[in-house]
A and B are shown apart, each in its own frame.
Chain A
């Protein structure tokens, strides 16, 4: 079974609109961390936001927020007021407690977001 599932291969969104990128995950651990990364065409992975499994509030970082629904095992990324510079690949990733101290991140297949002017 896929550990991280991103069901939207590509999305087109009008500039200034909000966009939600879906991510569901599969783990039997109680303690885990969820990450979102942005990868522009240059290739570098840019960290956006983190949500811990025990965090009671949804994480927010500027225009980014994470809609965390633990029971549904989903961790959707919400980008408010999208900008042209948001066009990129977006990856959801997870680090499980069984790998505590282990740096391995398991990534989803990504969503290519294109912002239309």
Chain B
């Protein structure tokens, strides 16, 4: 069974540009979550989608947005990039949706490393 895939793996952008990152979950998983990882802030939750609906959102500005398609693939978009957006963006998929058990393992992808110059 293929794991979570993220594209692209590496990305270099300049301030003010926008970027779109893609995540393909494990087959059969309907939940996709996004995390931002930086040396200063650590791992922070961005948002989670289940069946094309955003269920929860972390404490990030509106420049960060996402969506999920009917095949559960998800994209996140960051507009008007800032230097502080440089980070590793991790996507995680899981099987259970709302009402699932606490033990609901999230499977992470390899991440997209975004560098903003």
Contact = CB atoms under 8 A, between A and B. Distances in A.
Interface in B73-96: 88, 90, 92, 94
A107 B58 CA distance: 13
Contacts of B35: 107
A50 B103 contact: yes
Q: Which of B43, B92, B98 has the most chain A CB atoms inside 10 A of its CB?
A: B43
Contacts, number: 69
A28 to B, nearest CB: 15
Nearest to A31: B102
Interface string B88-117: 101010100111101111111111010000
B56 interface: yes
Contacts of A62: none
Nearest to B97: A101
B55 to A, nearest CB: 6
In the complex, the 4 A-B pairs of residues with the closest C-beta atoms, listed nearest first = A101-B98, A45-B108, A33-B102, A107-B43
13 contacts: A32-B102, A35-B105, A43-B113, A50-B103, A52-B103, A53-B102, A101-B98, A101-B99, A102-B56, A103-B31, A103-B50, A103-B92, A108-B42
